[in-house]
Amino acid sequence: GKDKELIRDSWESLGKNKVPHGIVMFTRLFELDPALLSLFNYKTNCGVVPECLSSPEFLEHVTKVMLVIDAAVNHLDDLDSLEDFLLNLGRKHQAIGVKTQSFAVVGEALLYMLQCSLGTGYTAALRQAWLNLYAIVAAAMTRGWAK
Ligand code: HEM
């Protein structure tokens, strides 16, 4: 329906530039919760956000997150097919020490990035459509986390 159309249309150009948009998202994430930075114990040993965000491992994780969102957008008609992948992903983040509440903060950062990128295209309906989609992703990760 309308929600899927809003999501597909808005992701069309964003999805082609995953890294720059992902950086906006993660910059916002670390603003909202700087403590998340310490969960990335890559050997880069970076203390400040801008340094971290330009390290190759960080950019890879940014890309990984954007690819999960990309997969969700590409499977709007059969999100169930991502269930096993998302359960497993949630379990991995549990092992890393990420709390399930942090998944919601990522959602806020995602909305922030959409707002920045879409400008006047960021409508209440679009915001709600993305909230709903991300909630499905985060809920599956949370189920996997708790398993
Ligand atoms: C892996 C941290 C949220 C997708 C990882 C790793 C870390 C990490 C440290 C392992 C190292 C690496 O692969 O780079 C975090 C933190 C998050 C977060 C602190 C904050 C809440 C997310 C979210 C998604 C995601 C929301 C997707 C929607 C992935 C993927 C991997 C990964 C796909 C690779 C898993 C694999 O190796 O199979 N994450 N992550 N992450 N993360 Fe996250």
Q: CATH number, domain at 138?
A: 1.10.490.10
Burial 50-84 (b: 16+ CB within 10 A, else e): eebbebeebbeebeebbebbbebbeebeeeeebee
Q: Closest residue (by CA) to atom 27 of ligand 1?
A: 65
How many domains are there within the chain? 1
Q: Do 142 and 134 touch, CB atoms closer than 8 A?
A: no
Q: Do 50 and 10 touch, CB atoms closer than 8 A?
A: no
According to DSSP, residue 69 is labeled: H
Q: Closest residue (by CA) to atom 9 of ligand 1?
A: 40
Centroid of ligand 1 to alpha carbon of 61 (angstroms): 6
Which range of residues forms the domain containing residue 97?
2-146
- Predicted ipTM > 0.90: yes
Q: pLDDT tens digits for the chain (147 residues)?
A: 899 999 999 999 999 999 999 999 999 999 999 999 888 876 555 666 667 777 888 899 999 999 999 999 999 999 999 999 999 999 999 999 999 999 999 999 999 999 999 999 999 999 999 999 999 999 999 999 998
Q: What is the pLDDT of residue 68?
A: 98
Q: Which atom of ligand 1 is nearest to the CA of 97?
A: 19
Centroid of ligand 1 to alpha carbon of 59 (angstroms): 11
